[in-house]
Amino acid sequence: MLFVGAGFYFFNLACVPGHKSFINNGTYVKKSDPLYTQKMWYKKRKKQKWYMTSATDNYRLDANYIPDQRSNKTVIILHGYMNNKDKMGAYATLFHRLGYNVLMPDARAQGQSQGKYIGYGWPERCDVKKWTNKLLTKEGKKQKVVLFGVSMGAATAMMTSGLNLPKQVKAIIEDCGYTDVKDEIEHEAKVLYHMPAFPRFPLVEILSGINRIKVGYYLKDGSSVNQLHRNHRPMLFIHGGRDKFVPTRMVYTNYEATKGKKELWIAKKAPHAASYANYPQAYTKHVRNFLNKYVH
């Protein structure tokens, strides 16, 4: 019973929305921020509000849309764990400057979207497919779509890659996504709480069973790797060389798994989700060159 109670405690900590002491969600933009200009452009930019019902559970999902009237290319930007669309403003600026319309959803249970639990990308992958179809309905079938995500958003993009997606999805960019949900939660359990792995201390296994009841899947089923085995679209993999939150080793496993054309860039000194901030020019160059190859 002690383990079960502890399992529910850690399920609430990991999967129920709320303040997380290990996540910095401050919204104030300092002038010393290397991406200050990009973030301020996004803040001041007029945005359309888009809404959609989730693919499962009938939640109302919220998104911002920033059009480029001259373009038929759109990027869908997916944010990280306990973040929201507005935290992705610098990336919106990057892609808009590259000539893309920008669609920025709040994942279920985060930002302004409804939901009870954070799904770590597994249920969200179906929402991303539905956002893609909504985009094509509203903006036309001639759209060329790119999926882009950071951290949990990157894992969501990789998990989405294994679905039967519209032919208009041309390429995917993932920045510091994990191999699967169980691997990531086990890693964080060790780093944050110094827990040994199963079977000596089976809390993650108990949490996985609770997640199956509450969210609908076992943690190991939420696999980027398994979905990438089904992907044949071009992918750019980005990861910080000093990432301790999603360890850099995971990107090599993900990179090997995909079946399409692929590129890999390690931002050598960047910690988690900071490759753009640490290397803004190189980041832009890698993204631009990749897109110029595969999205015409």
State residue 200's pLDDT score.
Answer: 43
State residue 199's pLDDT score.
Answer: 47
CA distance 135 to 143: 8
pLDDT tens-digit series, residues 21-49: 545 555 567 888 999 999 999 999 999 99
Q: What residues does each domain of the chain span?
A: 33-185+222-294
Mean per-residue pLDDT, 272-280: 97
Q: State the pLDDT confidence band at 10, using cuts at 50, 70 and 90.
A: confident
Q: Is 84 left (phi over 0), alpha (psi -120 to 50) or beta?
A: beta
Please state whether the predicted TM-score (pTM) of the whole model is above 0.85. Answer: yes
CA distance 265 to 287: 10
Would you state the CATH architecture of domain 33-185+222-294?
A: 3-Layer(aba) Sandwich (3.40)
pLDDT tens-digit series, residues 144-199: 999 999 999 999 999 999 999 999 999 999 999 999 999 999 898 887 765 555 44
CA distance from start to end of the chain? 58
Residue 130 exposure: Cα atoms within 13 Å on the Cβ side: 21
